[in-house]
Amino acid sequence: MKQESIAGNLKKLAIFLALTAVILILMRYLFPEQSALSLEVMRDYSKEVALIFPPVLVLMGLADVWIPEDMVKQYLGKTSGWRGILLSLFLGTLPTGPLFIAFPIASEMLKKGARIANVVVFLGAWASLKMPQIGVEIQFLGLEFAFYRAGLTFIAVICIALITDKLLKRSEISWGKILKE
């Protein structure tokens, strides 16, 4: 059953790659100028994803077999409070790479019993509170702007997380795979 799903996914992946190739070739032919810029951006993103996605996948697998759910619940669950928020903030600033790599991780955290607020803080920190990002901002927009932007975003990330948490009860997240509870 599980083997089949890998094979099925690989088949889907192959079809998808073929389709992507066709689109890219068409673009190159129809819009040669734009195509050069998009290819450059795609290459940059691909490089980043290729570097960071495999270890993230392996870490997720390892976390799944080694970190017991009770531990996730204890440190990131409903009763984790401000400690949980701070831990999620810290976890979010550690890695690198685009935000969409963080979605599967966040999903895994949720499934293991992490509090919604913590998951949203994790995503917010991942998106906007990374040292390299802030460094580039200091360089091009000045220390003052970067400082205010990061400081205000820090507050906003926590506000967004707490509001989202208040608005949603866990039982309401019945979508896709998150049907477990």
Q: Which of 76, 116, 118, 122 binds another protein (CB under 8 A)?
A: 116
Question: HEC string of the chain?
Answer: CHHHHHHHHHHHHHHHHHHHHHHHHHHHHHCHHHHHHHHHHHHHHHHHHHHHHHHHHHHHHHHHHHCCHHHHHHHHCCCCHHHHHHHHHHHHHCCCCCHHHHHHHHHHHHHCCCCHHHHHHHHHHHHHCCHHHHHHHHHHHCHHHHHHHHHHHHHHHHHHHHHHHHHCCHHHCCCCCCCCC
Examine residue 22 and tell whether it contacts another protein (CB under 8 A): no
Examine residue 1 and tell whether it contacts another protein (CB under 8 A): no
Examine residue 168 and tell whether it contacts another protein (CB under 8 A): yes
Q: Which of 18, 22, 39, 143 binds another protein (CB under 8 A)?
A: 39
Q: Which of 44, 69, 70, 181 binds another protein (CB under 8 A)?
A: 44
Q: Which of 29, 65, 79, 82 binds another protein (CB under 8 A)?
A: 65
CB of 60 to another protein, least distance (A): 6
Examine residue 38 and tell whether it contacts another protein (CB under 8 A): yes
Residues 77 and 110: their CA atoms lie apart, in Å, by 9
Among positions 123-162, residues that touch another protein (CB under 8 A) are 123-124, 127-128, 132-133, 136-137, 139-141, 144-145, 148-149, 152-153, 156, 159-160
CB of 72 to another protein, least distance (A): 16
Examine residue 42 and tell whether it contacts another protein (CB under 8 A): yes
